[in-house]
Amino acid sequence: MKVLAVNGSPRKTWNTATLLEKALEGAASQGAETELIHLYDLDYKGCRSCFACKQRDRKSYGICAVKDGLTTVLDGIREVDALILGSPIYFGRVTGEMRSFMERLMFPFLEYTDPWQSIFPRSMATGFIYTMNITEEEMEEMRLRYALESNEMSLGMIFGSSEALYCHDTLQFEDHTKVVCDRVDVDAKMRRHRDVFPVDCEHAYALGGRMTQAVT
């Protein structure tokens, strides 16, 4: 059994990457082989609207025909048992790299039948870990949950199931004295990181284990 995590953050050792690593630890505790990929290491673009994945009688039907740094990743995902995505929230959405990845990941499997259907050949457990600087209350006030839930809806439609973990009020900087951040209550932010982020890590670990158990 293999579980793949995909990091949509430019940082490899900060909040999103840490939570993905914890999720993979949870998967490994259930016997899974795990791998973490950092999207910012890859040279690729989003969907180019070539529709090669939709053309009749072509070998590329249901397959992204673009050849770039994402090709081997997309090929490998066809063989994994569970997929965990992670992204910080920038201006109310996942990062551009994550969005471009998701376009390339899902669109080839979306068949233009009536009604729509997925041609992914099996069911695969998927999960999404979101990290954000805002509080739970601010997230609800901004109606951000509705925007992000569309990701799980799409993943579930294509692959069969999806769940999400929201991590709020995360620590952005190691040294707040080096940046202009007057609106930040530094002491409160540091307390949150000390007291709550470890709980977020536990939830990520549980998510990874739960997704792996769902496959077995």
User: How distant, in Å, are the alpha carbons of 100, 133, 137, 184, 202 from that of 192?
Assistant: 32, 11, 15, 12, 15
Write the pLDDT tens digit of every residue in 26-58.
Answer: 999 988 999 999 999 999 999 999 999 999 877
Give the per-residue pLDDT at 186.
66
How far is residue 80's CA from residue 53's CA, in Å, rounded to a whole number? 21
Q: What is this structure's pTM?
A: 0.91
**Cβ-count burial of 166 within 10 angstroms (0-12 exposed, 13-18 middle, 19+ buried)?**
middle
Residue 7 in contact with residue 131, Cβ under 8 Å? no
CATH topology of domain 2-215: Rossmann fold (3.40.50)
φ and ψ at 153, to 5 degrees? -60, -45
Tokens of residue 80, six digits? 């994994």
Write the pLDDT tens digit of every residue in 57-105.
Answer: 778 899 999 999 999 999 999 999 999 999 999 998 999 999 999 999 9
